[in-house]
Amino acid sequence: MTRARQHSLSRRGFCFCCVSASAFAARGGWVTPGQAFAEANGIVQLIKSEAAKAPITVHRVRGNVTILEGSGGNIAVLAGRDGKVLVDAGIAVSRPQVATALAGIGPEPVTHLINTHWHFDHANGNEWLYELGPRIVAHENTRKHLSVSQRVDDWSFDFPALSADALPTDVFATERTFKLNDCTLELKYYGPAHTDSDISVRFAESDILHTGDTFWNGIYPFIDYSTGGSIDGSIRAADANLAATTDATIIIPGHGQPVSNRAQLQEFRDMLVGIRENVARLKKQGRPLEDIVKANPTAAYDAKWGNFVIDPPLFTKLVYEGV
């Protein structure tokens, strides 16, 4: 990795989704499966060592909801007399910092843990949080993917299964509602989007929506084709998020600025649609991926969105795969 990229990773925190980008950037191009495996293996270790020392930033929003930033994806915490309800678990090596941040919110035990999807940087923290005894809730595909070693083809890497005790125990197919801490929590499956396991979590009375990784604020998103994600599914999910929110809604994205709004979500959706059109037009002309990357189909968006680990060539490739 370049120094600039390492800095960018450290500043925003490492995540599962960085792996392929970093392997790509290190080579300046696509790699053989063997090379990808060797690099991904090294980078997963790097992600873990970075997460182990990264600080957790605490954002108090409203309605007893707090966001913890710094252990993989953004974690939301709803606290009250029914205990703490966590949306996403971060990465297990951040346990000391996350435990301290949770204790700082209040003395309540963790009674519920919701995983927005199966990815490492949102569910690996289940490995320590289960010891606190929460009900672990997720879409049925999240449990399916976490139950077995999970191959991500884009970088020829196998993520190990979670321990049996850390798996979601309470799974659903389309929708689920909980009444906890005077709040109605509405869990809803997107259909295939960033993966095939993504759900949103709405804190109804507080008008807060956690989108999981269907929204990355200000940075190009990863799309996981290995487990059912696609650019078109990502656009459908962005449209669903727009339909579910107003200008008053606080939106918590999977990655990027934790406290976000609908105007930013709209810009994200328009970026996805704009780049999809550009890449589809070039692919229809029969041009190979290398040519399409050179044609800069993301150029109009790079200054704003291209400064994180999913860089313009990689995002072009992720869109190309799905059009």
What residue ranges bind Zn ion (CB under 5 A)?
119, 213
Nearest CA-CA partner of 208 in 261, 267, 265: 261
Q: Which is nearer to Zn ion, 119 or 269 (CB)?
A: 119
> Minimum CB separation from Zn ion for residue 64, in Å?
26
> Minimum CB separation from Zn ion for residue 179, in Å?
28
The residue type at 111:
T
Q: Which is nearer to Zn ion, 39 or 213 (CB)?
A: 213
> Minimum CB separation from Zn ion for residue 155, in Å?
14
Q: Which is nearer to Zn ion, 39 or 88 (CB)?
A: 88
Cβ count within 10 A of residue 281: 14
> Minimum CB separation from Zn ion for residue 194, in Å?
6
Distances (CA, A) of 47 to 43, 173, 196, 313: 6, 31, 24, 22
The answer to whether 204 and 246 have CB atoms below 8 angstroms apart is: no
> Minimum CB separation from Zn ion for residue 212, in Å?
7
> Minimum CB separation from Zn ion for residue 180, in Å?
25
Decide: residue 172, CB within 10 A, 0-12 exposed, 13-18 middle, 19+ buried: middle
Q: Which is nearer to Zn ion, 212 or 313 (CB)?
A: 212
The residue type at 150:
Q
Question: What is the sign of the dihedral through the CA atoms of 30, 302, 237 and 270?
Answer: negative
Q: Which is nearer to Zn ion, 210 or 283 (CB)?
A: 210
Nearest CA-CA partner of 75 in 137, 125, 38: 125
Instruction: List the structure tokens of 310.
Output: 């999913």
Decide: residue 284, CB within 10 A, 0-12 exposed, 13-18 middle, 19+ buried: exposed
The answer to whether 99 and 92 have CB atoms below 8 angstroms apart is: no
| Rounded Cα distance, 64 and 32, in Å | 48
Q: Which is nearer to Zn ion, 82 or 232 (CB)?
A: 232
DSSP secondary structure string, 189-234?
E-SSSSSSS-EEEEETTTTEEE-GGG-EETSPPP--GGGT--HHHH
> Minimum CB separation from Zn ion for residue 143, in Å?
16
Q: Which is nearer to Zn ion, 19 or 183 (CB)?
A: 19
Nearest CA-CA partner of 174 in 194, 162, 188: 188
The answer to whether 142 and 118 have CB atoms below 8 angstroms apart is: yes
> Minimum CB separation from Zn ion for residue 246, in Å?
26
> Minimum CB separation from Zn ion for residue 224, in Å?
6
